[in-house]
Structure 1
Amino acid sequence: MIWKAWAGALVALLVAGAAWAAENRGPVTNLPLPRYVSLKTDQGNVRRGPSLSHRIDWVYKRRDMPLEVTAEYGHWRRVRDRDGAGGWVHYALLSGVRTAIVEQDMLQIHTRPDKESPVAAKLELGVIARLEECGPDWCELRAGGFRGWAPKTAIWGVDPDEILE
């Protein structure tokens, strides 16, 4: 009897896990939701809904700006920026290239993922950098011809538990 109860509980957990995984994948791309992307162009219209007939609420004007995709509908992606503002953007305006925005003024990037290592450069608040890789606590950034490591807590565009190789 205990074996049957245990087996039933295991099946329930597997079904719940499969449902959770399906819910956290985009219905169009089957990619994880949420996920980070970047703006491919110098400007991108942000619309109230997923079609050209929906009103443009504002325009993003920074190429490579990191955005978080939170939903998908046809050729449209609902995104939000670091301030939590968002809307619907056509997928052609987005890139899978990973970038991050510096959240700390004069952020020191180091030659190694260690705060005691030499400083390679300092980045101003709001700088957009290319994400090269991320470990548990540090990410390697490239910006303005400089390359170095920064703590994840000082940038926006990567989840705290995300590892990029």
Structure 2
Amino acid sequence: MLKSALLSKFRWMAGAVLLLATAASHAVDFKTVGAAPVILYDAPSAKGGKLYVAPRGMPLEVVLSYGEWVKVRDASGEMAWTEAKGLSAKRNVVARAANLKVRASPDDTASPIILVDKGVLLEMSEQPSSGWVKVRHKDGQSGYVKTSEVWGL
């Protein structure tokens, strides 16, 4: 009985360690479409079906790397393949809702600098901290948004 209980406990602990190791190896990796738009395909080949063209600056989550190709997810959750060379390490985020308030400081009571519509690209200026991220709009205004209100982090 004691041996069975110890064996069961060991299996549980080994499973937990494997689960944690797996989770750590699957850190979220975001890239941005580089200087030129990229074609998104249904397979990791230029001979695959063309799904659509991703515009310059669009953030994509890299789900899997396969040689010179990466499987990516866009803000709507769609999955596709593209060539890794077309992506940049630069980070952009997308507003998740209409009338997103870009604030003067990382505080709910801070004055809004601008309001942006759903789907608007914002350049990430600094790494996220305490639930906020500093961003810059294409018109030059900089401010802070809640990390929960943007996609691409």
Shorter-normalised TM range: 0.7 to 0.9
In structure 1, what is the equivalent of residue 108 of structure 2?
115
Q: What is the aligned partner in structure 1 of residue 80 from structure 2?
A: 87
1:54 is matched with which residue? Answer: 48
Unmatched 5+ stretches in structure 2? none
User: Root-mean-square deviation (CA), in Å?
Assistant: 2.3
Are 1:136 and 2:130 counterparts? yes
Partner SS, residue 113 of structure 2: strand
C-alpha contact 2:41 2:49 (8 A) present in aligned 1: yes
1:126 alignment counterpart: 119
Name the counterpart of 1:29: none
Within the alignment, does 1:106 sit opposite 2:109 as a pair? no
Contact 2:36 2:56 in 1 (8 A): yes
Pick aligned residue for 2:143 from 106, 128, 148: 148
Q: Are 1:97 and 2:100 an aligned pair?
A: no
After superposition, the C-alpha distances for 1:129-155 in whole angstroms (9 at most, x for unaligned) are: 111231232221111211101122321
- Give the match's secondary structure for 1:14: helix
* CA displacement at 1:13 relative to structure 2: 3.4
What is the aligned length?
A: 147
**Alpha-carbon spacing, 1:126–1:53, altered in 2? closer, same or farther (3 Å):** same
Q: Distance in 2 between matches of 1:153 and 1:41?
A: 27
In structure 1, what is the Cα distance between the partners aligned to 2:119 and 2:22?
Answer: 38
Residues of 1 paired with 2:41 and 2:110: CA distance? 44
**TM-score, normalised with respect to structure 1:** 0.76
**How far does the alpha carbon of each residue in 1:44-73 deviate from its partner, in whole angstroms, 9 at most, with x for none?**
11111112222212211x211111111111
DSSP 3-state at the match of 1:5: helix
